[in-house]
A and B are shown apart, each in its own frame.
Chain A
Amino acid sequence: MIRRLLPAAAVVALLAGCSDSPDPAKPVGDAEPGTLRVLAGSELADLQPILDEAARATGVSVKFSFTGTVEGAEKVASGAAEQGFDAVWFSSNRYLELVPDAQKRLGTPTKVMSSPVVLGLPAAKVRELGWDGRRVGWAEIAEAAGARKFTYGMTDPSASNSGFSALVGVAAALSGSGSALDAARIDAVAPQLKQFFSAQTLSAGSSGWLSEAYTRRARGEDPGAGVDGLINYESVLLSLPEPLTLVYPSDGVVTADYPLTLLTSASAEAREAHRKLSDHLRGADVQRRIVETTHRRPAVPQVQLGDRFAVKDLVELPFPGSQSAVDGLITTYFDQLRRPSRTLYVLDTSGSMQGDRIEGLRQALTGLTGADESLAGRFSRFHGREQVTLLPFSSTARPPLTYEVPQDDPRPVLDRIRSTATSLDAAGGTAIYSSLRGGYDVLRRQVDADPDRFTSIVLMTDGENTGSEGVTDFQLFHQALPRDLKGVPIFPVLFGESATAEMEQVAKMSGGKVFDARSRSLSSAFKEIRGYQ
């Protein structure tokens, strides 16, 4: 399924060659001496000050383009990464090396720093749990989570490495077998894993947004219910404005080791740049600066671990040895383990959507029913146990259509969603806010019947509101909502001539986030949102 990306990327590259717009296969431009073009995980952004200093010291500057773990692996495997990049830099190469087509394109890696994925909780909560001053294992953590003695936020394992590492870590530790996971072992610990994930009340597509949302909720700036703790990199948890007490599971963690890895396709100049930069970054002084600036652990033994790292010697849990085991674990997480999602799609089908736009919307929804066979696409399809409601609108809202995706054999329901999606037509006006308001009637009934779900709203519209109710009316309505509904995040998608300021306002009042589909397909925006649902 990975190989399919190659022809697509080639087509994109060809098309780009015919126009004046920047080549999407080369988001950071052509190769040039003294520059290393790096496809990277977004958490590397905090290294910028170090890289600026490195550029002055070595003459090598780094140009980053950010992507998610699975998507990044896919780009490397298909060869698309080689079109526009000299190197990759993710939190770990483990997943990449399990994909044979990606593994063979990886050259020399240089491990630059490390950070384990751990649980952070407020000090008071740690005391309340009786975990003060003693080490606890994953089994005890999972049990407390199952009894809802605490709640936590974690990133989507298919979109972000910290969630992925946490998932592998907890599954490996709970399996108790001590050796690497395979499908049978995953099945055997599913009940315990389910307990553990029942306390996850916040999800996000990126580590950065997760900790921002956590902090906003803790401060009451977001209407969403507060979350006790976070599962994230130690470095992120140590960097929070109000630091948490870190719980290092005694039976082990999964650690990110940030290998700056040359692609085998890199030119001689790029190789030289990679060597210079690697040597610089692994120098003792620079390593100390990295620890100071980013709270990550040093990669060279010459630099001692400071007191900021409460637990110095960490047991590393075994990581699965095959891609199928990892993919199986992620799929199980979505379809069986995590709290199920409730997703409401409020979709603009007004006259202005005619033509390419409505076709783009049909494709975006169809992609989520399993038509997108890319790796990232497979993980972002509607999951087992998910409750999906489509609410198309134009001058008025149409009747909502709700689908329950079964855990086993989801195909028939996904096919029904697909046929609804493909029959969407565009005509009429754009009554955004009255339709959105109507969506809450649907949610009210669904939440009353079954409150324990990740509930969220996607609002897709391509233009100005033409209905009689405006954003101010909606704000008033939203303020008066009961707490459980007020905390439902809205994810507006900017498209066509969207009213950007209004969409930002809607996202902010609900604790959501705006996604931009004006310079990319609706499909890619819809896929990205999946990480937050």
Chain B
Amino acid sequence: MKRTLGIGLAVVLLAGVVTAIVLGRGDGAAGLRTVRGVIGSEKLAFFADQRVKDVFARHGLVVEVDPAGSRQIATATDLEPYDFAFPSSAPAAEKIQRDRKAARTYAPFSSPMVVATFDPIVDLLAKAGVVKAGPGYRTFDVQAYLAIAATGTRWDQLPGNSFYPARKNLLVTTTDPRDSNSAAMYLAITSFVANGGVVSSPDAEAKVLPAVSRLFLEQGYTQSSTEGPFEDYLSAGMGKTPLVLAYEAQFVDRVVRGDSTVRPDMELLYPAPTVLSKHTLVPLREAGDRVGQLLQTDAELGRLAAAFGFRTADPKHFDDVVREKRLTVPRTIVDVVEPPAHETLERMLEAIAKQY
């Protein structure tokens, strides 16, 4: 039953990336050292950007990347051909670091999980006690949300809701927990709250599973890539996707692009608590370590990563983008928790997958 889209997608995209790189070499890139990495697909656009390639070239490197699902990188991908692995979450990186006995890791950028929604929905959920005024930004109270989800409340059953009387359950739209990193991050958040702390024992897993499983199962069909529901949010709007789980970077990237896909009535809520999708590079060979160092320290790469919506190790880069583009995102997010260990997270995901 376990799906393998990540691997399939990787195979599809691999040739494209390789082709692009081979063509790119035509312009006198001789003498450069080629470094190969396998990365979470959210960062593909960053590595494919010419400005990013130019920075690496100035440091004598050509970085070839194959995209794959972060969970696949940790468990299924053959890492032998690669100089580094760059999954989108810390638990996946931990597992790789342990398996490969890597001496260190780099976490050059991150992005908090957010809930993207619309003004009228924010008002409704504020009345229902799910949206609260936070420290300078609005939060999505996960505890209150779990209480509503536990009773299978429909939108049309919210008191005083004449605006969005949808006959479907009040649920955040996520991706498929069988496929996607963002769904795993969502599980990290919701299991923390259901357990009253990070889940770290089989007892705790058993305790939270009923409550967190329904958050996925009751959605029914879910898409496998994080871009899918986020695009629906942007184009089909409130009727289809009133609440969507996303990476903050997805939203910021759209605003920075200025392609008018983000409309004035769209709003970000920060789950309280939330987790960071911590893009963590695990060097597998010396050449990969060099890429990690550059990402961590090179100011130009930092600026470029911020332009793609990522929060950078040096907060200045992201702050600059926020100021320049007048983004309404908080500088710091206070209520951040750690995801469970990789094995725990995987076991819970497997347990949910079995119930489909």
**Chain A contacts to B: CB under 8 angstroms:** 94, 97-98, 100, 103-109, 111, 114, 137, 172-173, 176-181, 250-252, 255, 257, 262, 264, 266, 268, 271-272, 275, 298-302, 313-322
Contact = CB atoms under 8 A, between A and B. Distances in A.
B172 to A, nearest CB: 13
A321 B219 contact: yes
Could you say which interface size class chain B belongs to?
Answer: 35 or more
Nearest to B238: A313
Interface stretch (B49-57, B81-89, B258-266, B282-290): B258-266
10 contacts: A100-B1, A104-B8, A106-B8, A255-B240, A271-B12, A271-B16, A299-B235, A300-B261, A301-B234, A315-B239
B183 to A, nearest CB: 13
Contact of A320 (B1, B4, B220, B241): B220
A372 to B, nearest CB: 26
A255 B236 contact: yes
A222 B166 CA distance: 40
A369 to B, nearest CB: 31
Nearest to A95: B221
A180 B219 contact: yes
Nearest to A315: B166
Given A106-B8, A301-B263, A314 B220 contact: no
Interface of B: 1, 3-5, 8-9, 11-13, 15-16, 19, 152-156, 165-169, 171, 214, 217-224, 228, 231-232, 234-241, 259-261, 263, 356
Interface of chain B, main secondary structure = loop
Given A179-B214, A264-B8, A299-B235, 13 more contacts: A104-B3, A107-B9, A111-B231, A137-B167, A179-B152, A179-B218, A251-B168, A257-B236, A271-B16, A301-B260, A302-B259, A315-B239, A319-B221
Contacts of A114: 236
Given A103-B3, A108-B9, A313-B237, A180 B220 contact: yes
A180 B12 CA distance: 32
> What 10 A-B pairs are tightest by C-beta distance, nearest first?
A180-B220, A179-B218, A251-B167, A178-B154, A316-B240, A319-B221, A178-B169, A318-B220, A264-B8, A315-B166
A322 B217 CA distance: 10
A255 B232 CA distance: 11
A457 B238 CA distance: 47
A105 B12 CA distance: 10
A1 to B, nearest CB: 16
A255 B235 CA distance: 13
A244 to B, nearest CB: 22
A179 B152 CA distance: 8
A276 B337 CA distance: 42
B148 to A, nearest CB: 12
Given A251-B166, A322-B356, A179 B219 contact: yes
A330 B239 CA distance: 26
B250 to A, nearest CB: 14
A314 B5 contact: no
Contacts of A268: 15-16, 19
B169 A179 contact: yes
Contacts of A106: 5, 8
Contacts of A172: 168
